[in-house]
């Protein structure tokens, strides 16, 4: 029993190995291959599902599929020190077997498809349990699988020293309890920023695994099941990381003061006084007019234009001109 250290019984280990080797399979087929009664096989499959090592598929007949060993199995192994080297060797063999199976089914397949909200929640929790250095998140309004405030794995990871960088779109803060949950995350160590809108939901662990929607489900756990993709090291993953960094660069930092108030969420704000010259300059800048053309239209030197823009950026606590444009809209400067 190599995987006893991971909490698997002999039956569970043999059935999990069969699921890894054959992909999706029904209880009757697995029972025949394992040489055990169907009733006993059903109990083993229920136990594997409860442990996050397998999940049922939709449709009839009902089939089961193995959770990826690197996501579901390795975290269980890491929680125990006994026979760790032997168990990791066996896990590596199962990972390779799993990948070989996926390639045999479709040589061009780059993504693992996750169907259903429960399977998505399971993957997001497993990914955060195994993350070592950094999690990147796009948080859109109206949850699909994981309600705001239910992600306890984040706080456990933060306590382990994992860095969380989270981007929220402004509509997210309209959800009930969202602001309080973000405040709790920031106080626990989360680095948070806000943008007007995000293109998709996204979670990236250690720049090695990403989860994002292929077909979005409805908000607040609607019966329309989400179809999600899990992608590992590839050009697609690199593009998703680059997308996150691009949005992060232009986002507004979220800060929590001593009273627990959250700033930067694009909430209502009293307009600041802005000089007419700066207001006109800002309107040209937001319209996409180049510095040289602004200087010509306003009969100012280019250096003066750049100095005034820099002054407004400092006043708005903006690191980029795009942040300045957004902050200007929030402050009523335009």
* Domain-terminating residue out of 82, 105, 128: 105
- Please write the tens of the pLDDT for every residue from 301-334: 999 899 999 989 988 888 888 888 888 877 778 7
- Please write the tens of the pLDDT for every residue from 39-93: 999 999 999 999 888 999 887 888 999 888 888 777 776 666 555 567 677 777 7
Q: Does residue 196 lie within any of the structural domains?
A: yes
Q: Does residue 113 lie within any of the structural domains?
A: no
pLDDT interval class at 158 (50, 70, 90): very high
Helix (H, G, I), strand (E, B) or coil at 332: coil
The pLDDT, as a whole number, for residue 256 is 78
Q: Does residue 255 lie within any of the structural domains?
A: yes
- Please write the tens of the pLDDT for every residue from 190-245: 999 988 889 899 999 999 899 998 876 555 544 567 888 898 877 888 999 999 99
- The lowest-confidence range among 23-32, 100-109, 212-221 is 100-109
Alpha carbon dihedral 181, 184, 186, 190, in 10-degree steps, equals -80
Quickly tell me which residue has 């694009």 as its tokens.
266
- Please write the tens of the pLDDT for every residue from 241-280: 999 998 888 788 887 776 666 766 654 344 456 777 888 8
The pLDDT, as a whole number, for residue 270 is 43
The pLDDT, as a whole number, for residue 269 is 43
DSSP string, 140-179: -SS-SSS-TT--HHHHHHHHTT-EEEEEEEGGGGGSTTHH
In this predicted structure, the answer to whether residue 107 has a pLDDT above a threshold of 90 is no
> Residue 46 corresponds to which tokens in the numbers above?
């229920």
Q: Taking all residues of the chain, what is their mean pLDDT, rounded to a whole number?
A: 82
Q: Specify the CATH number for the domain of residue 298.
A: 1.10.10.10
- Asked whether residue 145 falls in the same domain as residue 252, the answer is yes
- Asked whether residue 247 falls in the same domain as residue 284, the answer is no
Q: What backbone torsions phi and psi does residue 231 show, to the nearest 5 degrees?
A: -125, 140
Alpha-carbon span 161 to 167, nearest angstrom = 19
Q: Does residue 114 lie within any of the structural domains?
A: no
- Asked whether residue 143 falls in the same domain as residue 173, the answer is yes
| Count of structural domains within the chain | 3
Range of the domain at 284: 276-331
Q: Does residue 195 lie within any of the structural domains?
A: yes
Angle, helices 27-34 vs 10-22, to 10°: value is: 120
Q: Does residue 215 lie within any of the structural domains?
A: yes
Strands 209-215 and 227-232: antiparallel
- Asked whether residue 11 falls in the same domain as residue 81, the answer is yes
Helix (H) or strand (E) holding 165: strand 163-169
Strands 163-169 and 191-195: parallel
Q: Does residue 1 lie within any of the structural domains?
A: yes
Q: Specify the CATH number for the domain of residue 156.
A: 3.30.870.10
Listed in sequence order, the DSSP H helices in 160-301 are: 178-188, 235-250, 276-286, 291-298
């Amino acid at each position: 029993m190599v995987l006893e250290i991971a909490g698997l019984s002999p039956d569970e280990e043999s059935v999990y190995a069969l699921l890894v080797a054959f992909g999706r399979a029904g209880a009757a087929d697995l029972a025949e291959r394992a040489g055990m009664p169907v009733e006993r096989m059903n109990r083993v499959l229920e136990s594997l599902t409860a442990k996050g090592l397998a999940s049922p598929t939709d449709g009839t007949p009902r089939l089961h599929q193995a959770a990826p060993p690197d996501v579901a199995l390795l975290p269980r192994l890491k929680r125990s020190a006994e026979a760790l080297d032997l168990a990791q060797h066996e896990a590596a063999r199962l990972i390779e077997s799993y990948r070989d199976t996926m390639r045999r089914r479709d040589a061009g397949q780059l993504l693992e498809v996750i169907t259903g909200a429960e399977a998505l929640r399971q993957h997001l929790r497993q990914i955060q349990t195994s993350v070592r250095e950094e999690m990147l998140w796009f948080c859109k309004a109206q949850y699909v699988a994981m309600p705001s405030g239910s992600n306890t794995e984040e706080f456990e990871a933060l306590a382990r020293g994992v860095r969380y960088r989270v981007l929220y779109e402004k509509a997210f803060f309209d959800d009930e309890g969202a602001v309080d949950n973000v405040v709790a995350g920031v106080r626990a160590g989360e680095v948070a920023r806000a943008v007007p809108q995000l293109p998709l939901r996204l979670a990236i662990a250690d720049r090695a695994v990403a989860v994002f929607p292929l077909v979005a489900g409805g908000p607040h756990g609607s019966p329309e099941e989400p179809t999600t993709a899990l992608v590992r090291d590839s050009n697609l993953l690199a593009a998703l990381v680059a997308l996150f960094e691009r949005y992060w660069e232009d986002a507004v930092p979220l800060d929590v003061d001593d009273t627990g108030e959250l700033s930067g969420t694009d909430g209502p704000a009293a307009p600041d006084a802005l000089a007419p010259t700066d207001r006109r300059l800002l309107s040209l800048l937001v319209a996409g007019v180049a510095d040289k053309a602004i200087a010509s239209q306003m009969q100012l030197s280019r250096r003066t234009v750049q100095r005034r823009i820099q002054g407004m950026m400092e006043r708005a606590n903006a690191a980029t001109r795009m942040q300045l444009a957004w902050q200007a809209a929030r402050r009523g400067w335009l």
